[in-house]
Amino acid sequence: MNSIVHDDNASPIIGLKVKLITTSDIVYEGLVYAYEPTINLLVLQEIKLTSTSKKKQHNFHLLKLSFIKEILKSTSNNSENSNMKHELIPVTKVNEHIITKREHDALNKIGLNVSDQAQLIFDALSKTLPVKWKDDSILVLDEVLITDPYKVENCKVLIKKNNANNSQAFARVCKVLEGERKRLGL
């Protein structure tokens, strides 16, 4: 392997255009975006022009050094390499509100004091229908409540409007629940 990344001070290689060949003979070309010497990880930014809009598309590859067979400096001249650093995508500020909301939503998908079976059913239903926990019951489409032991006969319409939408929602939830229980072997 080329010694351009064996230095703990990786700043000289950041932005350098390289060609990497992995141990499975996959070839990557791009700019060295980051290098973490403690875990021997190299991040390569690959820049491609999209065929339809001629816009730049940026792909990032995380590569362990132990899986890299060869690292070659690009054949570009030095003045081009110095300009390459300007093409690195800057790290942008993380929107904490979005992260907090994502974490909050993830936590709300975990039932409190429910069985593993209940959580499995909830997770399966959530792939197809909007669901949320209401205590230890599963609320589907904000209309149908599924209570323990989470079988079709435990489905109840929560909103007592006598319209076709409620009966359609109820039938849909029952059908999906029955199918997911079969798929899960319950």
Fold of 3-87: SH3 type barrels. (2.30.30)
Determine the pLDDT at residue 87: 66
What is the model's pLDDT at position 73? 81
For 121: left if phi > 0, alpha if psi spans -120 to 50, otherwise beta; the answer is alpha
Separation of alpha carbons 141 and 182, rounded Å:
21
Closest CA to 147 of 182, 121, 124, 172: 121
Q: Which two tokens stand for residue 186?
A: 């319950």
Which residue intervals of the chain bear CATH 2.30.30.100?
Answer: 3-87
| Res 82: pLDDT | 47
Taking the C-alpha atoms of residue 161 and residue 46, their distance in angstroms, rounded to an integer, is: 56
Point out the residues of the chain with pLDDT beneath 70: 1-11, 50-51, 53, 75-91, 160-164
Q: What pLDDT, on a 0 to 100 scale, did the predictor assign at position 168?
A: 86
CA 78/CA 181 separation, integer angstroms: 63
How many angstroms separate the Cα of 79 from the Cα of each of 71, 84, 85, 163?
A: 20, 9, 11, 72
In the prediction, which pLDDT does 159 show?
A: 72
Pairing of strands 68-73, 17-22: antiparallel
Residue in 88, 134, 95, 139 with CA at minimum distance from that of residue 112:
134
| HEC assignment per residue over 135-184 | CCEEEECCCEEECCCCCHHHEEECCCCCCHHHHHHHHHHHHHHHHHHHHH
**Contact residues for 60 (Cβ-Cβ < 8 A; gap 6+):** 33, 43, 44, 45, 46
What pLDDT does 84 receive?
47
User: How much is the pTM?
Assistant: 0.52
Distances (CA, A) of 176 to 50, 55, 125: 40, 42, 7
Predicted pLDDT of residue 93: 79
**d(C-alpha 96, C-alpha 3), whole Å:** 39
What is residue 90's three-state secondary structure? coil
